[in-house]
Structure 1
Amino acid sequence: MSVNILILAAGASNRFKGCKQLATIQGKTMLEHTITRLSSLNKKIYVALGANKDSIMPHLNTSITTIACANWQLGMGHTIAQACEKINLEKSAILIALADQVLIPTSHYLALLQAQITYPNKIIVTTAGDKVMAPAIFPTQYVEQLKGLTGDKGAQKIIKNNLAQCHFVPCQKAQYDIDTQEDYQYLSNKIKNEMEPV
């Protein structure tokens, strides 16, 4: 089964007090930083945009397909649902990633894809400690559930309702995301100090 990639970057970044998708990470915008790590997987990449769409689009490579999500303000669930309506997932799984999980290395995305090959009918979920989170891969049989999502919780509901049908891949760095300026400064310094390769 083929895999498409959906990067969620539609939020208004209210707690960040600015457009966090355009904050600089290793000389790239945050969104470009995440796209760079995912691009080496050689999969079709879609980016779901919303609040800052007009500001973000000029910074994206023309090879990236953007999806304008009019209902982004209703929550991540609505964004995922609207994006999945616009992607042909009839014979494809979908890897859902977050633009602000900037510490996740390419090696983890590769591990998720390898697990998907081994367990093609399972949801492949990232874990950090006892928490389940994105990025995650959903096989095609869950597409209708993705299209029916609402609210702020994203695809967590689907994962938690189907734990027996999940395969878990640990990545402690997935627990870090950027919501505030303090998060941004901390993770920017962490990346710089670690010299994490993309």
Structure 2
Amino acid sequence: MIAAEDTALLLLAAGQSRRFGAGPSKLDAVLEGRPLGIHVVETLAVLPFHARLAVVRRSLIDYASHGYATIVNDDPVGDMASSLRLGVRRAAEVKPQALLVVLSDMPRVTAGHIQRLLAAADGPSAIVASTDGDAPRPPAVFGCALLPLLERLSGDSGARDIIRRGKHVHAPAEELVDIDTLEQLRSLA
């Protein structure tokens, strides 16, 4: 088990939102009276992470006011792993025992699920991802020994190949939903 106090939380909030349609960032779209991109932030506020980091681009959400150090990714079009690399570099500076990677467009993630991920992490080489019984996905925990590998990732698959070989902690599909389209957002309302 790796405690939240020893874990850096990395929130990825710099995506292109291409499938969401024209207009402002999907993270600013309203779900249940709050911006989509704030749901997971508020949910995870109860856990005492070692550090909270957010890689951002164009959302109106002020993650810093929620205790996050923000890292701006001005060029997320290069590849999808660019935000991960930026966040991992900053996380390495605070020397956590583990890194928890969470997507900001996952409004139904629970603190209980994150605690189960951390409980399944067993040291510096830990790889623990979420699954609904299908493919593994974020949120995911990486032990500190994996940070150099994560910092070298490139391309559009991010850490997908890495999390396939780790432990997988089950959560209901509705808890792991990530919003890519306006239709998906409307289906949650």
TM-score > 0.5 by shorter chain: yes
The unaligned stretches of length 5 or more in structure 1 are 190-198
The unaligned stretches of length 5 or more in structure 2 are none
**Which residue, out of 41, 46, 63, partners 2:53?**
46
CA contact (8 A) 2:128 2:163 kept: no
Q: What SS is found at the alignment partner of 2:7?
A: strand
Quick check: 1:149 aligned with 2:153? Answer: yes
The size of the alignment, in residue pairs, is 179
Matches within 5 A, 1:110-129: 110-116=115-121, 119-120=122-123, 121-129=125-133
Q: Residue 71 and residue 157 in structure 1: after superposition, are their counterparts in 2 closer, same or farther (change >3 A)?
A: farther
Equivalent AA in structure 1 for residue 30 of structure 2:
T
TM-score with structure 1 setting the length: 0.82
Equivalent AA in structure 2 for residue 83 of structure 1:
G
Residue in structure 1 matched with residue 108 of structure 2 by the alignment: 103
Instruction: Give the whole-Å Cα distance in 2 for the aligned partners of 1:65 and 1:176.
Output: 25
Q: Residue 91 and residue 180 in structure 1: after superposition, are their counterparts in 2 closer, same or farther (change >3 A)?
A: closer
**Which residue, out of 93, 108, 129, partners 2:98?**
93
CA contact (8 A) 1:69 1:83 kept: no
TM-score with structure 2 setting the length: 0.86
Residue in structure 2 matched with residue 181 of structure 1 by the alignment: 182
- 1:35-72: per-residue Cα shift (whole Å, max 9, x none)? 0111111112111112x15x333x65252211112331
CA contact (8 A) 2:41 2:66 kept: no
Equivalent AA in structure 1 for residue 180 of structure 2:
D
Equivalent AA in structure 1 for residue 29 of structure 2:
A
Say what the alpha-carbon RMSD is for the aligned residues: 1.9
Question: How many Å apart are 1:26 and its aligned residue?
Answer: 2.6
Question: How many Å apart are 1:91 and its aligned residue?
Answer: 4.1
Instruction: Give the whole-Å Cα distance in 2 for the aligned partners of 1:80 and 1:25.
Output: 26
**Which residue, out of 3, 13, 21, partners 2:27?**
21
Q: What SS is found at the alignment partner of 1:179?
A: coil
**Which residue, out of 63, 81, 100, partners 2:85?**
81
Instruction: Give the whole-Å Cα distance in 2 for the aligned partners of 1:79 and 1:157.
Output: 17
Instruction: Give the whole-Å Cα distance in 1 for the aligned partners of 2:45 and 2:54.
Output: 12
Q: What SS is found at the alignment partner of 1:74?
A: coil
Instruction: Give the whole-Å Cα distance in 2 for the aligned partners of 1:100 and 1:62.
Output: 16
**Which residue, out of 24, 27, 32, partners 2:38?**
32
- 1:169-190: per-residue Cα shift (whole Å, max 9, x none)? 1012354211111000012x2x
Percent identity over paired residues: 27
- 1:94-148: per-residue Cα shift (whole Å, max 9, x none)? 00001111122221111112222xx223211111113110000000111011101
Quick check: 1:69 aligned with 2:73? Answer: yes
Residue in structure 2 matched with residue 172 of structure 1 by the alignment: 172
Equivalent AA in structure 2 for residue 71 of structure 1:
D
Structure with greater helix percent: 1
Instruction: Give the whole-Å Cα distance in 2 for the aligned partners of 1:99 and 1:110.
Output: 18
**Which residue, out of 3, 9, 22, partners 2:7?**
3
